[in-house]
Amino acid sequence: MHGLINRAVQCFLRDAYGADTWRAVAADAGIGANGFEAMLSYDDTLTDALLVAAVQRLDRPCEQILEDLGTFLVSHPSFEGLRRLLRFGGVGFVDFLFSLDDLPGRGRLAVPDLDLPQLEMIEDDGTAGRYRLLCRARHQGFGHVMLGVLRAMADDYGALALLEHRHTDEDAAIIDIHLLDQRHASGRAFDLAEGWRGG
């Protein structure tokens, strides 16, 4: 698994549960307290060991931890950059949803060996406002992370949406999206070129 992903888990555990918890989880998983480097790749088994250790230490189901991780990545101030990159997906939540098809490609553009899940957004024919996000990844956990990301992005856009995660037969995850109101709240501000200011 790419260091960026491992490091995201590390930062989440450290910032959401404290440095002591991170150190304990790292020790349980046989990872040094320094943790992961963002731009190196690591064996997948290390990520699994990390999650197993986190589940035991936090005494919470893996799915919940992963969903919280997704929300954390979008909403925590230290990951503002990631939120901004996602907001480039479109001016409204629906635009954003459809931009997810391009997410793996955009990720690869930035970091060539970053293996993000393949995402496919499907619009339901029958009912307006109903969508399905098909998520195919090497690691089952990505679907739950995406659920957390979508929840936080709906808030970010000020949209009101019901989201539900389920598995398919073919090892993929589906997130059912029921968009009730695209402009429910004002959402957070986003300027295209804000990222350049001051830096």
Partner 1 sequence: MSAARAPTAPVLPVGLDALGRLMPMSLWVGPRGIIHGAGPTLAKLFAGQTLIGAEFFDLFVMLRPRNVGDPSALVQCGGQRLKLRLRQPPHTGLRGQCVALTGGQGVLLNMSFGIAVADAVRDHRLTDSDFTPTDLAVEMLYLIEAKSAAMEELRRLNLRLQEARAAAENQALTDALTGLRNRRAMDLALEDAAQRHIAFGLLHVDLDRFKQVNDTLGHAAGDHVLAHVARILREETRADDTVARVGGDEFVLILPGLTSGRALNRIAERIIRQIEAPVRFDGQLCRVSASIGMTSSVHYPAPRPDRLLSDADRALYVSKNRGRGRYTLFTPSLKGDPACHCRAEPGTAQGQGAPGARA
Which residues bind to partner 1, rule: CB under 8 A? 27-28, 37, 39-40, 95, 98, 101-102, 105-106, 109-112, 123, 125
Q: Minimum CB separation from partner 1 for residue 72, in Å? A: 25
Q: Minimum CB separation from partner 1 for residue 15, in Å? A: 23
Query: 122 vs 185, which CB is nearer to partner 1?
Result: 122
**39: exposed, middle or buried (Cβ count in 10 Å: 0-12, 13-18, 19+):** exposed
What are the DSSP calls for 149-161, one per residue?
HHHHHHHHHT-EE
Q: Minimum CB separation from partner 1 for residue 87, in Å? A: 16
Query: Distance (Å, rounded) from C-alpha 155 to C-alpha 151?
Result: 7
Q: Minimum CB separation from partner 1 for residue 30, in Å? A: 8
| 44 backbone φψ class: left, alpha, beta (φ>0; ψ -120 to 50) | alpha
Query: 28 vs 63, which CB is nearer to partner 1?
Result: 28
Q: Minimum CB separation from partner 1 for residue 66, in Å? A: 25
**61: exposed, middle or buried (Cβ count in 10 Å: 0-12, 13-18, 19+):** exposed
Query: 87 vs 144, which CB is nearer to partner 1?
Result: 87
Query: 95 vs 194, which CB is nearer to partner 1?
Result: 95
Q: How would you list the strands of the sheet with 173-181, edge to edge?
A: 118-123, 130-136, 173-181, 160-167
Q: Minimum CB separation from partner 1 for residue 140, in Å? A: 26
Query: 77 vs 112, which CB is nearer to partner 1?
Result: 112
Q: Amino acid identity of 94?
A: V
Query: 95 vs 171, which CB is nearer to partner 1?
Result: 95
- Segments in 18-141 forming alpha helices (H): 19-28, 44-58, 62-75, 80-87, 93-99, 103-110
Nearest to 134 by CA among 180, 181, 90, 177: 177
